[in-house]
């Protein structure tokens, strides 16, 4: 008789997840992907730190403590249980005030806390200890970015001979620019022996590099778009780890991020003054008028309004924008910008906002509601990224009928089809050269299309809004990746596991095979 089917058990370890704690795209992914995996009947559970800044009382305090071995002794952490909104996905919060009850997740803007290595060592080790304390042994452990990079290493080392050692590990790169680098002498903080400080694991040009160790230890690797998966295997985009990534190129899959289509839905978005859809865009016109008003700009439907939202860092190409914004503002356009980050950039955009009140408004800060209103009210959305692992804002823009103007890199290249003036095809405007001229020319191209080919703009809007960026497809790719990883680790699928969807076919194609089939949208 066939054994009863059982669900695949996946532990998702993350340093941030919407709506609990967010500094960037990882939070959005961590808040949405596990919910989509539940649709495939995966028993997925999230572990993250309990940060300051949200209502802890809404969480259930679990009995007992989790004992987390640290270099200085054993940390006794509390465990609280919550759920991702609109789902039954459990989120376990590791409660340890000394490390996480602070005003920022990683440190003040532009700076990291001195003890970040220790804090995220605690998260990585604590996530594994929490599983054991809960007596829940996952089949696959999915770690994300440098903050959880020690997870695959611990599974291969300190968990040796313990139940978690059977788990396959998947390590996802959301951004190669942040690798968790520390002084080589800090190796002791990880609790691992000095013998691991070698060039095949943690040592990288005389420093301790957490991401390098994860890239070596994880069963399989993924990153957040097919183009970025290729780019990071080349010098420059790999930020010094391209060699390691090339070595493991056959184990690296690019899976495009999805977006939370409930949270980002112009028909139901509670942050907007008016709802709209592809069928009825009158609400979008109302959103534009309201945004112009909020920005103190002339309320005029005929002027093209360009929106910008993002971290003000060099990654996002804000220096390029700063170098051509005054030229752009000499045309008949309006620009609104919301961002926080580098002091110099913050100061420049704030200053320009005060001298060009007629056409430009900046808000320096982090404001989720305003980000939604900009996505909805703008006609175009500008993303001149130097590199962009996936990028979410351009997908929000497309869904809100706001045409993205992007540098063709990473996920931007995978999601935005550049305008074809002859046929009117496309969903946005793309450029290649990372120069103020190229950006200004592309903004100018969009503005002239707005004035001269409104029919094309309308058609592009409709096309953009019809695209499907939900997690439906991509969560299937993750499920296959998990099964691949498990099979790689154990030589077979989990005992008693019955795939419940076509995607979870018992003989999933190899990562390399699927990489060549990666969808281009």
Which residues would be at the binding site for ligand ADP (CB under 6 A)?
24-25, 28, 309-311, 338-340, 366-368, 371, 390-393
CB of 29 to ligand ADP, least distance (A): 8
Burial class (CB in 10 A: 0-12, 13-18, 19+), 516: exposed
The smaller minimum CB distance to ligand ADP, of residues 25 and 404, is found at 25
- How far, in Å, CA of 323 to CA of 328, rounded? 10
CB of 313 to ligand ADP, least distance (A): 8
Give the pair of three-digit tokens for residue 223.
């990153």
Task: Decide if 425 contacts 275 (C-beta within 8 A).
Answer: no
The smaller minimum CB distance to ligand ADP, of residues 219 and 385, is found at 385
CB of 186 to ligand ADP, least distance (A): 26
Please give the biggest Cα pair distance in the chain. Answer: 77
The smaller minimum CB distance to ligand ADP, of residues 105 and 504, is found at 105
- How far, in Å, CA of 327 to CA of 26, rounded? 34
CB of 247 to ligand ADP, least distance (A): 26
Give the pair of three-digit tokens for residue 325.
């914004």
The smaller minimum CB distance to ligand ADP, of residues 320 and 371, is found at 371
Is the alpha carbon torsion for 350, 352, 354, 358 positive or negative? Answer: negative
The smaller minimum CB distance to ligand ADP, of residues 146 and 197, is found at 146
CB of 143 to ligand ADP, least distance (A): 17
The smaller minimum CB distance to ligand ADP, of residues 203 and 467, is found at 467
The smaller minimum CB distance to ligand ADP, of residues 175 and 449, is found at 175
CB of 504 to ligand ADP, least distance (A): 27
| Neighbour count for residue 41 (Cβ, 10 Å) | 17
Q: Give the nearest residue (CB) to ligand ADP.
A: 25
- How far, in Å, CA of 509 to CA of 383, rounded? 35
The smaller minimum CB distance to ligand ADP, of residues 32 and 493, is found at 32
Cβ contacts of 238 within 8 Å, gap of 6 or more: 176, 232, 244, 245
Cβ contacts of 201 within 8 Å, gap of 6 or more: 153, 212, 213, 216, 217
- How far, in Å, CA of 371 to CA of 381, rounded? 11
CB of 224 to ligand ADP, least distance (A): 8
CB of 487 to ligand ADP, least distance (A): 30
CB of 371 to ligand ADP, least distance (A): 4
Cβ contacts of 377 within 8 Å, gap of 6 or more: 284, 287, 288, 289, 290, 291, 292, 305, 307
The smaller minimum CB distance to ligand ADP, of residues 190 and 222, is found at 222
Q: How far is CA 411 from CA 71, 225, 226, 466, 513, in A?
A: 39, 5, 7, 19, 20
CB of 360 to ligand ADP, least distance (A): 16
Task: Decide if 150 contacts 190 (C-beta within 8 A).
Answer: yes
Task: Decide if 485 contacts 168 (C-beta within 8 A).
Answer: yes
CB of 184 to ligand ADP, least distance (A): 28
Cβ contacts of 449-452, under 8 Å, gap ≥ 24: 449/419, 449/421, 450/304, 450/379, 450/380, 451/304, 451/332
Angle at 198 between CA 202 and CA 232, to 5 degrees: 50
The smaller minimum CB distance to ligand ADP, of residues 317 and 499, is found at 317
Tell me the three state secondary structure of residue 383: strand
Task: Decide if 152 contacts 214 (C-beta within 8 A).
Answer: yes
The smaller minimum CB distance to ligand ADP, of residues 201 and 388, is found at 388
């Amino acid at each position: 008789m066939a054994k009863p089917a059982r669900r695949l058990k996946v532990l998702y370890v993350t340093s941030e997840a919407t709506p609990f704690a967010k500094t960037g795209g990882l939070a959005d992914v961590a808040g949405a992907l596990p919910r989509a995996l539940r649709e495939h009947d995966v028993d997925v559970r999230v572990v993250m730190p309990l940060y300051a800044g949200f209502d802890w009382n809404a969480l259930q305090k679990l009995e007992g403590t989790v004992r987390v071995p640290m270099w200085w002794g054993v940390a006794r952490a509390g465990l609280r249980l919550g759920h991702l909104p609109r789902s039954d996905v459990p989120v376990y919060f590791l409660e340890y005030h000394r490390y996480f009850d602070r005003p920022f997740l990683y440190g003040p803007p532009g700076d990291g806390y001195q003890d970040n290595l220790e804090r995220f060592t605690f998260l990585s080790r604590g996530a594994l200890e929490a599983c054991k304390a809960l007596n829940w042994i996952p089949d696959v452990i999915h770690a994300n970015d440098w903050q959880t990079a020690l997870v695959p290493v611990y599974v291969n080392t300190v968990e040796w001979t313990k139940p978690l050692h059977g788990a396959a590990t998947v390590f996802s790169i959301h951004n190669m620019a942040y690798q968790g680098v520390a002084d080589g002498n800090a190796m002791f903080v990880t609790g691992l022996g000095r013998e691991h400080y070698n060039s095949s694991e943690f040592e990288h040009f005389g420093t301790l590099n957490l991401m390098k160790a994860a890239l070596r230890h994880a069963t399989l690797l993924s990153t957040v778009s097919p183009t970025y998966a290729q780019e990071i295997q080349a010098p420059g985009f790999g930020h010094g780890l391209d060699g390691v990534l090339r070595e493991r190129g056959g184990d690296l899959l690019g899976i495009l991020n999805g977006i939370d289509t409930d949270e980002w839905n112009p028909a139901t978005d509670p942050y907007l003054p008016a709802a709209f859809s592809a069928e009825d865009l009158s609400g979008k016109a109302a959103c534009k008028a309201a945004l112009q008003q909020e920005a103190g700009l002339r309320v005029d439907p005929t002027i093209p309004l360009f929106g910008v939202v993002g971290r003000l860092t060099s990654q996002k190409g804000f220096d390029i924008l700063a170098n051509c914004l005054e030229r752009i503002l000499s045309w008949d356009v309006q620009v609104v910008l919301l961002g926080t980050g580098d002091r110099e950039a913050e100061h420049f955009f704030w200053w320009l906002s005060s001298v060009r009140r007629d056409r430009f408004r900046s808000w320096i800060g982090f404001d989720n509601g305003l980000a939604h209103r900009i996505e909805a009210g703008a006609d175009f959305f500008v993303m001149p990224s130097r590199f962009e692992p996936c990028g979410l804002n351009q997908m929000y823009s497309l869904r809100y009928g706001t045409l993205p103007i992007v540098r063709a890199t990473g996920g931007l290249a995978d999601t935005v089809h550049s305008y074809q003036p002859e046929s009117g095809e496309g969903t946005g405007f793309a450029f290649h050269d990372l120069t103020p001229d190229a950006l200004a020319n592309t903004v100018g191209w969009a503005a002239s299309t707005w004035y001269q080919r409104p029919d094309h703009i309308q058609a592009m809007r409709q096309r953009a809004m019809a695209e499907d960026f939900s997690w439906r497809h991509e969560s299937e790719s993750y499920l296959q990746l998990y099964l691949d990883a498990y099979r790689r680790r154990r030589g077979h699928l989990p005992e008693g596991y019955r795939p419940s969807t076509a995607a979870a076919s018992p003989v999933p194609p190899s990562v390399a095979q699927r990489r060549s089939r990666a969808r281009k949208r």
